[in-house]
């Protein structure tokens, strides 16, 4: 068995680009610190909307293959070497936005058997033995079916792994404190006339915004801001970056957060806000 570093972090995301937007600074910081960072992406995002006109011909499997290349480039920018597709490339396809006929595709992730998919993820958990798991809340941050399913699969996989020998000490959900989001959008509105974007999104367009008191952990990734921006740029079909802002296919500007926030949902909470996902964990033998 390959010897693993003392600290091990697992992130579960729905599509390529979600990891860089939500956790890029966190991933880059921990990778630079020697943490074993594992990313599991559940689909290739075959139904994503493509931004650049020159890539507009991509769809379905062709788009999925292209986005896998983008993911590879993004991981290189963040310093991550362990990234995987749940069950292998093409096992589960993108489900499209909630309410579309795409949701009924028997091969899409939304239609996956949760226990079966969680079993595949639990194999990764048992192999890597992470002390920390990061994923979405039960609404997937903003209601996308693949994000909701990623939450279900990740939480179930943690249970399955615990019952067979590896209990993950800390589980976090991606969050953004409302006060930070509101202040960031105020700056965005002030800066908008000088940006290459015509309009701004709103706080409600940001996944995972919650009252400040729900935030348990803030990871300062400002020294890795350039790595996060580079990783987001690598996902060129989905994101256009003009630091410290970006747009998705809706062309509405959002802040690019380099301090990333989390809510601890399993594990012992500190009385004060954490600055380290591994706070309180005694690291040592990976066995």
The CATH number given to whatever domain includes residue 107 is 3.40.50.10320
Give the residue from 176, 168, 139 showing the smallest Cα distance to 14: 139
pLDDT for residue 187: 98
Q: Examine residue 226 and say whether the peptide bond preceding it is cis (omega within 30 degrees of 0).
A: no
Using CB atoms within 10 Å of the CB of residue 237, give its burial: 0 to 12 exposed, 13 to 18 middle, 19+ buried: buried
Q: What is the pTM of this model?
A: 0.96
Q: How far apart are the first and last CA of the chain?
A: 10
Residue 278: inside a domain, yes or no? Answer: no
Side-chain half-sphere CA neighbours of 272 within 13 A: 3
Q: Is 36 annotated as a binding residue?
A: no
Give me the percent of the chain exceeding a pLDDT of 70.
Answer: 98
The DSSP-derived string for 92-128 is SB---STTSGGGG-TTBGGGS-HHHHHHHHHHHHHHH
Is residue 151 situated within a structural domain?
yes
pLDDT bucket at 2, cuts 50 / 70 / 90: low
Measure the CA–CA gap between 267 and 281, rounded to whole angstroms: 10
The answer to whether position 207 is within a domain reads yes
User: What is the tens place of the pLDDT at every residue in 118-152?
Assistant: 999 999 999 999 999 999 999 999 999 999 999 99
Kindly give, in sequence order, each residue whose CB lies less than 8 Å from that of residue 176, ignoring residues fewer than 6 positions away: 206, 207, 208, 209, 210, 257, 261
φ/ψ of 242, rounded to 5, equals -135, 90
Query: Residue 206 pLDDT > 80, yes or no?
Result: yes
User: Cα–chain-centroid distance for residue 136?
Assistant: 8
Mean pLDDT of all residues in 148-177: 97
CB 145 within 8 Å of CB 99: no
238 exposure class (CB count in 10 Å sphere: 0-12, 13-18, 19+) = buried
C-alpha distances out from residue 33 to 27, 30, 93, 122, Å: 10, 5, 33, 25
The mean per-residue pLDDT over the stretch 41-52 comes to: 98
Strand ranges (E), the chain = 8-13, 36-41, 82-85, 132-135, 170-177, 199-200, 209-210, 217-220, 240-242, 245-247, 252-255, 259-266
Q: Is residue 277 part of a domain?
A: no
Closest CA to 134 of 117, 111, 157, 109: 157
Mean pLDDT of the chain: 96
In a domain, 98, yes or no: yes
Q: Is 147 annotated as a binding residue?
A: yes
Residue 281 lies in a domain: no
Q: How far apart are the C-alpha atoms of 57 and 249, rounded to whole Å?
A: 15
pLDDT higher than threshold 50 for residue 285: no
How confident is the model at residue 3, as a pLDDT? 84
Q: Backbone phi, then psi, for 218, in 5-degree steps?
A: -125, 120
Residue 247 sits at φ, ψ, to 5 deg, of -130, 155
pLDDT 10s digits, 58-88? 999 999 999 999 999 999 999 999 999 999 9
Confidence class for position 286, pLDDT limits 50, 70, 90 = very low
At residue 250, the pLDDT reads: 95
Note the pLDDT of residue 287. Answer: 45
pLDDT of 283 > 90? The answer is no
The rounded radius of gyration (Å) of the Cα atoms in the chain is 18
Strand pairing report for 170-177 and 259-266: antiparallel
The tally of domains found in the chain comes to 1
pLDDT band at 284 (very low <50, low <70, confident <90, very high): low
Residue 104 lies in a domain: yes
**What is the residue range of 167's domain?**
8-266
Domain assignment present for residue 279? The answer is no
């Amino acid at each position: 068995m390959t010897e693993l570093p003392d600290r091990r972090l697992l992130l579960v995301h729905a599509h390529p680009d979600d990891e860089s937007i939500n956790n890029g600074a966190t991933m880059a910081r921990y990778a630079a610190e020697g943490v074993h960072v594992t990313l599991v992406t559940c689909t290739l995002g075959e139904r994503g909307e493509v931004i650049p006109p020159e890539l507009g011909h991509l769809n379905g499997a062709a788009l999925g293959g292209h986005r896998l290349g983008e993911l590879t480039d993004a991981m290189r920018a963040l310093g991550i070497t362990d990234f995987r597709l749940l069950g292998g490339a093409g096992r589960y396809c993108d489900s499209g936005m909630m309410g579309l006929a795409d949701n009924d595709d028997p091969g899409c992730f939304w239609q996956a058997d949760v226990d079966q998919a969680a079993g595949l993820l639990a194999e990764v958990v048992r192999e890597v033995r992470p002390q920390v798991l990061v994923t979405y809340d039960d609404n997937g941050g903003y209601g996308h079916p693949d994000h909701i399913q990623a939450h279900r699969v990740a939480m179930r996989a943690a249970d399955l792994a615990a019952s067979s020998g590896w209990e993950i000490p800390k589980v976090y959900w991606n969050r953004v404190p409302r006060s930070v989001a509101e202040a960031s959008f105020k700056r965005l509105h002030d800066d908008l006339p000088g940006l290459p974007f015509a309009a701004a999104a709103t706080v409600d367009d940001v996944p995972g915004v919650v009252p400040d008191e729900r935030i348990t952990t803030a990871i300062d990734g400002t020294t890795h801001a350039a790595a996060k921006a580079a990783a987001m740029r690598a996902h060129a079909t989905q994101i256009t970056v003009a630091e410290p802002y970006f747009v998705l296919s809706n062309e509405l500007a959002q802040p690019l957060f380099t301090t990333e926030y989390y809510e601890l949902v399993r594990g012992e909470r500190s009385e004060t806000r954490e600055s380290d996902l591994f706070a309180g964990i005694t690291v040592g033998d990976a066995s």
